[in-house]
Amino acid sequence: MTTRYWPLDRGCMVTSPFGPRDGGFHTGIDFGWPGGSAGRAVYAVQAGTVIKAGAAQGYGGPDPAGWLVIDSTDEQGSGCFEYGHIVRQVGVGATVAAGQRIGYVNPNQATNGGVAPHCHVSFWPRAYGGPEGKQDWKDKLAAAIYPGDTPPAPEPPTGIDAATLAQAMGCSLARAAEMLPGYVVAMEAAEITNVNRAAMFAAQIGHESAGLVYMEEIADGSQYEGRADLGNTQPGDGRRFKGSGPIQLTGRHNFTLFSRWAYDHGHIASPTLLVERPELVRSDPRLGFLAASWYWTVARPNINAMCDRGDLDGVTRAINGGLNGINDRRARWNRCRALGDRLLPPNDGGFLMALTDAEQRELLDGIRWLRDQFGPKLPSWGEGSSMGKTPDGKELTVRDGLAQMKRTIEGGSK
Ligand SMILES: [Zn+2]
Protein backbone atom coordinates (compact mmCIF):
# COMPACT_ATOMS: atom_id res chain seq x y z
CA MET A 1 0.00 0.00 0.00
CA THR A 2 1.12 3.51 -0.75
CA THR A 3 1.66 5.62 2.35
CA ARG A 4 0.45 9.19 1.83
CA TYR A 5 0.76 12.22 4.09
CA TRP A 6 -1.31 15.32 4.71
CA PRO A 7 0.59 18.26 3.20
CA LEU A 8 0.48 20.26 6.46
CA ASP A 9 0.98 19.28 10.07
CA ARG A 10 -1.60 17.52 12.23
CA GLY A 11 -4.40 19.89 13.12
CA CYS A 12 -4.67 21.49 9.69
CA MET A 13 -8.01 21.45 7.91
CA VAL A 14 -9.35 21.52 4.39
CA THR A 15 -10.16 25.19 3.99
CA SER A 16 -11.58 24.84 0.48
CA PRO A 17 -12.45 21.57 -1.24
CA PHE A 18 -12.24 20.66 -4.92
CA GLY A 19 -15.32 21.84 -6.80
CA PRO A 20 -17.40 24.86 -7.80
CA ARG A 21 -16.44 28.03 -5.95
CA ASP A 22 -17.48 31.66 -6.33
CA GLY A 23 -18.92 31.12 -9.79
CA GLY A 24 -15.76 29.36 -10.95
CA PHE A 25 -14.22 26.01 -10.26
CA HIS A 26 -11.55 25.23 -7.67
CA THR A 27 -9.30 22.58 -9.22
CA GLY A 28 -7.50 21.54 -6.05
CA ILE A 29 -7.80 21.23 -2.29
CA ASP A 30 -6.70 24.03 0.04
CA PHE A 31 -5.18 23.28 3.43
CA GLY A 32 -4.54 25.54 6.37
CA TRP A 33 -5.59 26.76 9.78
CA PRO A 34 -8.22 29.32 10.67
CA GLY A 35 -6.59 32.75 10.52
CA GLY A 36 -3.90 31.69 8.08
CA SER A 37 -0.90 29.44 7.89
CA ALA A 38 1.95 31.79 6.98
CA GLY A 39 5.33 30.06 7.26
CA ARG A 40 3.89 26.66 8.08
CA ALA A 41 5.87 23.69 6.77
CA VAL A 42 4.57 21.93 3.63
CA TYR A 43 5.25 18.23 3.06
CA ALA A 44 5.05 15.93 0.03
CA VAL A 45 1.79 13.97 -0.04
CA GLN A 46 3.53 11.07 -1.74
CA ALA A 47 7.03 10.23 -2.90
CA GLY A 48 8.25 11.33 -6.31
CA THR A 49 10.50 13.58 -8.35
CA VAL A 50 10.15 17.36 -8.64
CA ILE A 51 9.49 18.03 -12.34
CA LYS A 52 8.44 21.69 -12.27
CA ALA A 53 9.02 24.61 -9.93
CA GLY A 54 9.14 28.35 -9.88
CA ALA A 55 7.02 31.45 -10.04
CA ALA A 56 3.55 31.03 -11.50
CA GLN A 57 0.57 33.22 -12.04
CA GLY A 58 -1.83 32.86 -9.14
CA TYR A 59 0.74 31.03 -7.05
CA GLY A 60 3.15 33.92 -6.52
CA GLY A 61 6.81 34.65 -7.01
CA PRO A 62 9.55 35.55 -7.51
CA ASP A 63 11.40 32.25 -7.28
CA PRO A 64 11.62 30.36 -4.97
CA ALA A 65 8.14 31.54 -4.06
CA GLY A 66 5.43 30.03 -6.23
CA TRP A 67 4.70 26.38 -6.88
CA LEU A 68 6.15 22.98 -7.60
CA VAL A 69 5.01 19.70 -9.18
CA ILE A 70 6.03 16.25 -7.96
CA ASP A 71 5.58 13.30 -10.31
CA SER A 72 5.19 9.82 -8.79
CA THR A 73 5.81 6.43 -10.36
CA ASP A 74 3.20 3.69 -9.98
CA GLU A 75 5.23 2.22 -7.12
CA GLN A 76 5.26 5.62 -5.39
CA GLY A 77 1.49 5.98 -5.74
CA SER A 78 1.21 7.29 -9.32
CA GLY A 79 0.00 10.63 -10.63
CA CYS A 80 1.27 14.19 -10.14
CA PHE A 81 0.76 16.56 -7.21
CA GLU A 82 1.07 20.33 -7.60
CA TYR A 83 1.69 22.52 -4.54
CA GLY A 84 0.88 26.22 -4.79
CA HIS A 85 1.23 29.42 -2.72
CA ILE A 86 4.44 28.08 -1.17
CA VAL A 87 8.09 29.00 -0.82
CA ARG A 88 10.05 26.10 -2.26
CA GLN A 89 12.81 24.24 -0.40
CA VAL A 90 13.51 21.61 -3.06
CA GLY A 91 14.41 22.14 -6.71
CA VAL A 92 13.59 20.54 -10.05
CA GLY A 93 15.10 17.08 -10.26
CA ALA A 94 15.00 16.48 -6.51
CA THR A 95 13.77 13.11 -5.32
CA VAL A 96 11.46 13.46 -2.35
CA ALA A 97 10.10 10.92 0.11
CA ALA A 98 6.45 10.84 1.13
CA GLY A 99 6.05 13.19 4.09
CA GLN A 100 9.33 15.00 3.39
CA ARG A 101 9.33 18.76 3.92
CA ILE A 102 9.35 20.52 0.55
CA GLY A 103 8.72 24.15 1.52
CA TYR A 104 6.54 26.44 3.59
CA VAL A 105 3.36 28.45 3.10
CA ASN A 106 4.13 31.79 1.47
CA PRO A 107 3.26 34.46 4.07
CA ASN A 108 2.61 37.03 1.35
CA GLN A 109 -1.17 37.32 1.27
CA ALA A 110 -1.03 38.96 -2.18
CA THR A 111 0.16 35.65 -3.66
CA ASN A 112 -2.67 33.72 -1.97
CA GLY A 113 -5.50 35.18 -3.99
CA GLY A 114 -6.02 37.79 -1.33
CA VAL A 115 -7.16 35.23 1.24
CA ALA A 116 -5.32 34.00 4.33
CA PRO A 117 -2.05 32.19 3.49
CA HIS A 118 -2.68 28.49 2.79
CA CYS A 119 -1.37 25.63 0.68
CA HIS A 120 -3.18 24.59 -2.50
CA VAL A 121 -2.67 21.03 -3.78
CA SER A 122 -3.88 19.83 -7.19
CA PHE A 123 -3.69 16.31 -8.53
CA TRP A 124 -3.47 14.67 -11.94
CA PRO A 125 -4.16 10.92 -11.84
CA ARG A 126 -1.64 10.20 -14.60
CA ALA A 127 0.80 12.67 -16.14
CA TYR A 128 1.16 16.40 -15.56
CA GLY A 129 -1.12 18.39 -17.85
CA GLY A 130 -3.50 21.27 -18.14
CA PRO A 131 -6.00 22.49 -15.54
CA GLU A 132 -8.80 20.42 -17.14
CA GLY A 133 -6.99 17.22 -16.17
CA LYS A 134 -6.88 18.03 -12.47
CA GLN A 135 -9.04 15.76 -10.36
CA ASP A 136 -10.41 15.67 -6.86
CA TRP A 137 -8.12 13.61 -4.67
CA LYS A 138 -9.91 13.74 -1.30
CA ASP A 139 -10.26 9.92 -1.38
CA LYS A 140 -6.47 9.73 -1.08
CA LEU A 141 -6.61 11.79 2.11
CA ALA A 142 -8.82 9.22 3.82
CA ALA A 143 -5.93 6.90 4.63
CA ALA A 144 -3.23 9.59 4.77
CA ILE A 145 -1.16 10.04 7.91
CA TYR A 146 0.31 13.27 9.30
CA PRO A 147 3.87 14.47 8.80
CA GLY A 148 6.12 12.95 11.43
CA ASP A 149 3.81 9.96 11.98
CA THR A 150 5.37 6.54 11.64
CA PRO A 151 4.09 4.75 8.56
CA PRO A 152 2.18 1.57 9.37
CA ALA A 153 4.37 -1.52 9.24
CA PRO A 154 3.63 -3.69 6.23
CA GLU A 155 1.54 -6.75 7.06
CA PRO A 156 3.93 -9.57 7.88
CA PRO A 157 3.73 -12.25 5.22
CA THR A 158 1.65 -15.20 6.38
CA GLY A 159 1.42 -18.75 5.22
CA ILE A 160 3.75 -21.42 4.04
CA ASP A 161 7.34 -20.68 3.05
CA ALA A 162 10.16 -22.93 1.96
CA ALA A 163 11.44 -23.49 5.51
CA THR A 164 7.99 -24.62 6.69
CA LEU A 165 7.51 -26.90 3.68
CA ALA A 166 10.93 -28.43 4.40
CA GLN A 167 9.85 -29.09 7.99
CA ALA A 168 6.51 -30.54 6.91
CA MET A 169 8.06 -32.84 4.33
CA GLY A 170 11.31 -33.63 6.07
CA CYS A 171 13.23 -32.54 2.97
CA SER A 172 16.09 -30.11 2.34
CA LEU A 173 15.46 -26.38 2.21
CA ALA A 174 16.68 -26.33 -1.40
CA ARG A 175 14.22 -29.04 -2.43
CA ALA A 176 11.39 -27.26 -0.61
CA ALA A 177 12.23 -23.93 -2.28
CA GLU A 178 12.18 -25.63 -5.68
CA MET A 179 8.80 -27.25 -5.01
CA LEU A 180 7.06 -24.44 -3.12
CA PRO A 181 5.49 -22.47 -6.03
CA GLY A 182 3.77 -25.53 -7.48
CA TYR A 183 2.82 -26.78 -4.04
CA VAL A 184 1.09 -23.49 -3.19
CA VAL A 185 -0.88 -23.51 -6.46
CA ALA A 186 -1.91 -27.10 -5.72
CA MET A 187 -2.99 -26.27 -2.17
CA GLU A 188 -5.27 -23.54 -3.48
CA ALA A 189 -6.64 -25.88 -6.16
CA ALA A 190 -7.29 -28.53 -3.51
CA GLU A 191 -9.25 -26.05 -1.38
CA ILE A 192 -6.80 -26.25 1.50
CA THR A 193 -8.41 -23.60 3.69
CA ASN A 194 -7.72 -24.77 7.24
CA VAL A 195 -4.94 -26.36 9.26
CA ASN A 196 -6.45 -29.87 9.25
CA ARG A 197 -6.62 -29.92 5.46
CA ALA A 198 -3.14 -28.43 5.11
CA ALA A 199 -1.66 -30.97 7.53
CA MET A 200 -3.37 -33.90 5.80
CA PHE A 201 -2.32 -32.69 2.33
CA ALA A 202 1.29 -32.40 3.47
CA ALA A 203 1.21 -35.70 5.38
CA GLN A 204 -0.25 -37.76 2.52
CA ILE A 205 1.90 -36.14 -0.18
CA GLY A 206 4.90 -36.43 2.12
CA HIS A 207 4.31 -40.15 2.66
CA GLU A 208 3.52 -40.98 -0.97
CA SER A 209 6.56 -39.08 -2.29
CA ALA A 210 8.89 -40.00 0.59
CA GLY A 211 9.29 -36.32 1.44
CA LEU A 212 9.14 -34.93 -2.13
CA VAL A 213 11.90 -37.28 -3.32
CA TYR A 214 9.74 -39.18 -5.84
CA MET A 215 7.50 -37.27 -8.24
CA GLU A 216 6.79 -40.44 -10.19
CA GLU A 217 6.47 -44.17 -9.67
CA ILE A 218 9.81 -45.96 -9.49
CA ALA A 219 8.64 -48.89 -11.66
CA ASP A 220 8.39 -48.27 -15.41
CA GLY A 221 4.60 -48.71 -15.63
CA SER A 222 4.65 -51.81 -17.86
CA GLN A 223 2.69 -53.61 -15.14
CA TYR A 224 -0.33 -51.51 -16.17
CA GLU A 225 -0.17 -52.50 -19.86
CA GLY A 226 -3.60 -53.52 -21.13
CA ARG A 227 -5.34 -52.73 -17.82
CA ALA A 228 -8.85 -51.89 -19.09
CA ASP A 229 -9.89 -50.75 -15.61
CA LEU A 230 -7.33 -47.91 -15.94
CA GLY A 231 -8.45 -47.09 -19.47
CA ASN A 232 -5.16 -48.39 -20.90
CA THR A 233 -6.58 -49.47 -24.24
CA GLN A 234 -3.68 -48.64 -26.56
CA PRO A 235 -0.27 -50.27 -26.88
CA GLY A 236 2.27 -48.53 -24.64
CA ASP A 237 -0.35 -46.97 -22.34
CA GLY A 238 1.09 -48.77 -19.30
CA ARG A 239 4.43 -46.97 -19.48
CA ARG A 240 2.96 -43.80 -20.95
CA PHE A 241 0.52 -43.33 -18.10
CA LYS A 242 2.62 -44.73 -15.25
CA GLY A 243 2.12 -43.30 -11.75
CA SER A 244 2.92 -39.56 -12.03
CA GLY A 245 3.10 -36.72 -9.56
CA PRO A 246 3.62 -37.12 -5.82
CA ILE A 247 0.53 -39.27 -5.32
CA GLN A 248 0.82 -41.08 -8.63
CA LEU A 249 -1.89 -40.33 -11.11
CA THR A 250 -2.12 -43.56 -13.13
CA GLY A 251 -3.76 -44.77 -16.37
CA ARG A 252 -5.15 -43.18 -19.52
CA HIS A 253 -8.58 -42.70 -17.97
CA ASN A 254 -7.34 -40.59 -15.05
CA PHE A 255 -4.91 -38.63 -17.24
CA THR A 256 -7.80 -37.79 -19.58
CA LEU A 257 -9.99 -36.53 -16.74
CA PHE A 258 -7.15 -34.66 -15.05
CA SER A 259 -6.08 -32.97 -18.30
CA ARG A 260 -9.62 -31.75 -18.92
CA TRP A 261 -9.89 -30.45 -15.33
CA ALA A 262 -6.50 -28.71 -15.50
CA TYR A 263 -7.61 -27.02 -18.72
CA ASP A 264 -10.98 -25.99 -17.26
CA HIS A 265 -9.18 -24.42 -14.29
CA GLY A 266 -6.78 -22.45 -16.45
CA HIS A 267 -3.61 -24.39 -15.67
CA ILE A 268 -2.88 -25.70 -19.19
CA ALA A 269 -3.61 -24.47 -22.71
CA SER A 270 -5.36 -27.52 -24.19
CA PRO A 271 -7.83 -30.00 -22.67
CA THR A 272 -5.90 -32.99 -24.05
CA LEU A 273 -2.36 -31.74 -23.44
CA LEU A 274 -1.61 -34.22 -20.65
CA VAL A 275 -2.95 -37.18 -22.63
CA GLU A 276 -0.67 -36.22 -25.50
CA ARG A 277 2.26 -35.35 -23.24
CA PRO A 278 1.76 -37.30 -19.99
CA GLU A 279 5.46 -36.93 -19.15
CA LEU A 280 4.75 -33.30 -18.19
CA VAL A 281 2.95 -34.53 -15.07
CA ARG A 282 6.26 -36.14 -14.08
CA SER A 283 8.68 -33.41 -15.17
CA ASP A 284 6.72 -30.28 -14.10
CA PRO A 285 6.20 -30.28 -10.32
CA ARG A 286 3.35 -27.81 -10.67
CA LEU A 287 1.38 -30.28 -12.79
CA GLY A 288 2.42 -33.18 -10.57
CA PHE A 289 1.05 -31.44 -7.49
CA LEU A 290 -2.08 -30.40 -9.39
CA ALA A 291 -2.70 -34.06 -10.17
CA ALA A 292 -2.85 -34.54 -6.41
CA SER A 293 -5.31 -31.61 -6.14
CA TRP A 294 -7.52 -33.18 -8.78
CA TYR A 295 -7.50 -36.51 -7.02
CA TRP A 296 -8.14 -34.78 -3.68
CA THR A 297 -11.19 -32.81 -4.84
CA VAL A 298 -12.62 -34.62 -7.89
CA ALA A 299 -11.66 -38.31 -7.93
CA ARG A 300 -12.22 -38.58 -4.16
CA PRO A 301 -14.48 -35.62 -3.36
CA ASN A 302 -14.94 -36.54 0.31
CA ILE A 303 -11.33 -36.09 1.30
CA ASN A 304 -11.56 -32.52 2.58
CA ALA A 305 -14.61 -33.37 4.69
CA MET A 306 -12.62 -36.25 6.20
CA CYS A 307 -9.71 -33.87 6.83
CA ASP A 308 -12.04 -31.52 8.67
CA ARG A 309 -13.01 -34.42 10.96
CA GLY A 310 -9.37 -35.43 11.39
CA ASP A 311 -10.11 -38.84 9.83
CA LEU A 312 -6.59 -39.98 8.96
CA ASP A 313 -7.63 -43.60 8.29
CA GLY A 314 -10.44 -42.48 5.98
CA VAL A 315 -8.19 -40.25 3.89
CA THR A 316 -5.51 -42.93 3.79
CA ARG A 317 -8.03 -45.48 2.46
CA ALA A 318 -9.22 -42.94 -0.15
CA ILE A 319 -5.68 -42.51 -1.41
CA ASN A 320 -4.08 -45.88 -0.82
CA GLY A 321 -7.03 -48.25 -0.93
CA GLY A 322 -5.85 -49.65 2.41
CA LEU A 323 -3.83 -48.48 5.38
CA ASN A 324 -0.33 -49.03 4.02
CA GLY A 325 2.24 -46.94 5.85
CA ILE A 326 -0.29 -45.72 8.37
CA ASN A 327 2.34 -45.20 11.06
CA ASP A 328 4.45 -42.92 8.89
CA ARG A 329 1.32 -41.11 7.73
CA ARG A 330 0.24 -40.58 11.35
CA ALA A 331 3.65 -39.29 12.40
CA ARG A 332 3.59 -36.84 9.49
CA TRP A 333 0.00 -35.79 10.23
CA ASN A 334 0.86 -35.03 13.85
CA ARG A 335 4.03 -33.18 12.92
CA CYS A 336 2.25 -31.11 10.28
CA ARG A 337 -0.70 -30.25 12.48
CA ALA A 338 1.74 -28.83 15.02
CA LEU A 339 2.94 -26.36 12.35
CA GLY A 340 -0.50 -24.76 12.46
CA ASP A 341 -1.26 -21.66 10.39
CA ARG A 342 2.25 -21.63 8.98
CA LEU A 343 1.23 -24.51 6.74
CA LEU A 344 -1.64 -22.62 5.09
CA PRO A 345 -1.38 -21.04 1.62
CA PRO A 346 0.09 -17.51 1.75
CA ASN A 347 -2.44 -14.77 2.27
CA ASP A 348 -1.51 -12.32 -0.46
CA GLY A 349 -4.51 -10.06 0.08
CA GLY A 350 -6.29 -11.24 -3.04
CA PHE A 351 -5.82 -10.36 -6.67
CA LEU A 352 -6.42 -6.59 -6.25
CA MET A 353 -3.32 -6.29 -4.08
CA ALA A 354 -1.27 -7.75 -6.91
CA LEU A 355 -2.22 -4.74 -9.07
CA THR A 356 -0.50 -1.36 -8.90
CA ASP A 357 -2.59 1.66 -7.93
CA ALA A 358 -2.62 2.65 -11.60
CA GLU A 359 -3.86 -0.80 -12.62
CA GLN A 360 -6.57 -0.69 -9.96
CA ARG A 361 -7.59 2.72 -11.29
CA GLU A 362 -7.70 1.33 -14.83
CA LEU A 363 -9.90 -1.55 -13.66
CA LEU A 364 -12.23 0.85 -11.88
CA ASP A 365 -12.42 3.08 -14.97
CA GLY A 366 -13.30 0.02 -17.03
CA ILE A 367 -16.06 -1.02 -14.63
CA ARG A 368 -17.46 2.52 -14.69
CA TRP A 369 -17.43 2.51 -18.46
CA LEU A 370 -19.32 -0.79 -18.52
CA ARG A 371 -21.84 0.54 -16.05
CA ASP A 372 -22.31 3.64 -18.21
CA GLN A 373 -22.76 1.52 -21.32
CA PHE A 374 -24.93 -1.24 -19.93
CA GLY A 375 -26.28 -0.05 -16.64
CA PRO A 376 -29.43 2.02 -16.12
CA LYS A 377 -29.76 5.20 -18.16
CA LEU A 378 -28.24 8.29 -16.59
CA PRO A 379 -30.35 11.47 -16.41
CA SER A 380 -27.74 13.31 -18.50
CA TRP A 381 -28.50 11.10 -21.51
CA GLY A 382 -31.90 12.66 -22.01
CA GLU A 383 -35.27 11.06 -22.68
CA GLY A 384 -34.38 9.79 -26.16
CA SER A 385 -32.02 7.14 -24.82
CA SER A 386 -34.40 5.60 -22.30
CA MET A 387 -35.09 1.86 -22.71
CA GLY A 388 -38.28 2.28 -20.72
CA LYS A 389 -39.07 2.03 -17.05
CA THR A 390 -39.89 -0.72 -14.59
CA PRO A 391 -43.32 -0.68 -12.93
CA ASP A 392 -41.73 1.03 -9.92
CA GLY A 393 -40.24 3.78 -12.08
CA LYS A 394 -36.60 2.66 -12.35
CA GLU A 395 -34.77 3.04 -15.68
CA LEU A 396 -34.39 -0.26 -17.54
CA THR A 397 -30.90 -1.50 -18.32
CA VAL A 398 -29.93 -2.35 -21.90
CA ARG A 399 -30.48 -6.03 -21.09
CA ASP A 400 -33.92 -5.37 -19.61
CA GLY A 401 -34.86 -3.24 -22.59
CA LEU A 402 -33.75 -5.86 -25.12
CA ALA A 403 -35.60 -8.57 -23.18
CA GLN A 404 -38.73 -6.45 -23.25
CA MET A 405 -38.34 -5.94 -26.99
CA LYS A 406 -37.87 -9.70 -27.50
CA ARG A 407 -40.99 -10.46 -25.53
CA THR A 408 -42.91 -7.92 -27.58
CA ILE A 409 -41.71 -9.42 -30.88
CA GLU A 410 -42.34 -13.02 -29.78
CA GLY A 411 -45.73 -12.07 -28.45
CA GLY A 412 -46.59 -10.63 -31.84
CA SER A 413 -48.07 -7.50 -30.33
CA LYS A 414 -46.80 -4.00 -30.47
ZN1 LIG B 1 -6.69 26.53 -3.88
Last residue of a domain, one of 109, 141, 173: 141
Average confidence (pLDDT) over 164-187: 95
Domain shared by 126 and 71, yes or no: yes
Average confidence (pLDDT) over 219-237: 96
Q: Is residue 52 part of a domain?
A: yes
Domain shared by 205 and 308, yes or no: yes
79 C-alpha vs ligand 1 centroid, how far in Å?
19
Q: Is residue 63 part of a domain?
A: yes
Give me the pLDDT at residue 390, please: 80
Give me the pLDDT at residue 155, please: 67
Domain shared by 334 and 390, yes or no: no
Letter string b/e over residues 49-88, b meaning 16 or more CB atoms within 10 A of that residue's CB: bbbebbebeebbeeebbbbbbbbbeeebbbbbbbbbbbbb
Give me the pLDDT at residue 98, please: 96
Give me the pLDDT at residue 392, please: 82
Domain shared by 132 and 182, yes or no: no
362 C-alpha vs ligand 1 centroid, how far in Å?
27
18 C-alpha vs ligand 1 centroid, how far in Å?
8
134 C-alpha vs ligand 1 centroid, how far in Å?
12
pLDDT at 277 over 90: yes
Average confidence (pLDDT) over 195-212: 97
Interval 316-363: pLDDT, tens: 999 999 999 999 999 999 999 999 999 999 876 555 666 667 777 788
Give me the pLDDT at residue 354, please: 60
Domain shared by 315 and 239, yes or no: yes
Domain shared by 76 and 130, yes or no: yes
Average confidence (pLDDT) over 41-51: 97
Q: Is residue 166 part of a domain?
A: yes
30 C-alpha vs ligand 1 centroid, how far in Å?
5
pLDDT at 408 over 70: yes
Give me the pLDDT at residue 353, please: 61
| CATH number of the domain to which 259 belongs | 1.10.530.10
Domain shared by 273 and 316, yes or no: yes
Interval 236-262: pLDDT, tens: 999 999 999 999 999 999 999 999 999
**How many separate domains does the chain show?**
3
41 C-alpha vs ligand 1 centroid, how far in Å?
17
Q: Is residue 368 part of a domain?
A: no
| Percentage, residues of the chain above pLDDT 90 | 70
Domain shared by 104 and 237, yes or no: no
28 C-alpha vs ligand 1 centroid, how far in Å?
6
Q: By mean pLDDT, which of 4-8, 211-215, 322-326, 377-381 is the weakest?
A: 377-381
Boundaries of domain holding 292:
162-343
Domain shared by 168 and 317, yes or no: yes
Give me the pLDDT at residue 2, please: 84
Q: How confident is the model at residue 405 (pLDDT cuts 50, 70, 90)?
A: confident
Give me the pLDDT at residue 9, please: 97
Q: Is residue 154 part of a domain?
A: no
Q: Is residue 55 part of a domain?
A: yes
Q: What global pTM score does this model have?
A: 0.53
Last residue of a domain, one of 326, 343, 360: 343
Q: Is residue 4 part of a domain?
A: no
Domain shared by 285 and 188, yes or no: yes
Q: What is the mean pLDDT of the chain?
A: 91
21 C-alpha vs ligand 1 centroid, how far in Å?
10
Domain shared by 237 and 289, yes or no: yes
29 C-alpha vs ligand 1 centroid, how far in Å?
6
Q: Is residue 365 part of a domain?
A: no
Domain shared by 174 and 131, yes or no: no
151 C-alpha vs ligand 1 centroid, how far in Å?
27
